[in-house]
Amino acid sequence: MTYEGRVLAALADPTRRAIIEKLATGGRSVADIARSLPVSQPAISQHLKVLKEAGLVNDVPLGTRRIYAIDPDGLGPLRQWLDRFWGDQLAAFKAIADRDETS
């Protein structure tokens, strides 16, 4: 599976998207994430595993816990991939605008 396929498959799940949104404010433990979502800790752990395998989150040990955070190195390529479409759309819009000016 391609990078984009892994990332988009990981983000297809609404719970994983909610976890990413929670991590946008900073690193959190599994317990912290589980307290803020209607999902069990074991389920959160499984979702984090998928996000980690997709390269979207990383974790660091802190005592007996692991703190999960968004991996900026994983989001960078996703943003570049999405920006490619944005650039194409802007170029198409510019072409239409330029054509309307000459009409």
∠9-11-15 over CA atoms, to 5°?
120
Tell me the C-alpha to C-alpha distance, in Å, between residue 30 and each of 14, 45, 74, 77, 97: 17, 6, 20, 26, 50
Which whole number is the average pLDDT over 60-80?
91
Q: Is pLDDT above 70 for 103? A: no
Average pLDDT, the chain: 90
How confident is the model at residue 87, as a pLDDT?
Answer: 78
How confident is the model at residue 84, as a pLDDT?
Answer: 81
The C-alpha atoms of residue 31 and residue 23 are separated, in whole angstroms, by 13
Q: Is pLDDT above 80 for 70? A: yes
Domains and CATH numbers, the chain: 3-102 (1.10.10.10)
Cα distance from N-terminal residue to C-terminal residue, the chain: 46
**1-32 per-position pLDDT tens digit:** 787 888 999 999 999 999 999 999 999 999 99
> For residues 51 and 16, is the Cβ–Cβ distance under 8 A?
yes
Residue 10 class from Cβ within 10 Å (0-12 exposed, 13-18 middle, 19+ buried)? buried
Residue with the larger pLDDT of the pair 58 and 84: 58
**Joined tokens for residue 18:** 């909610």
pTM: 0.80
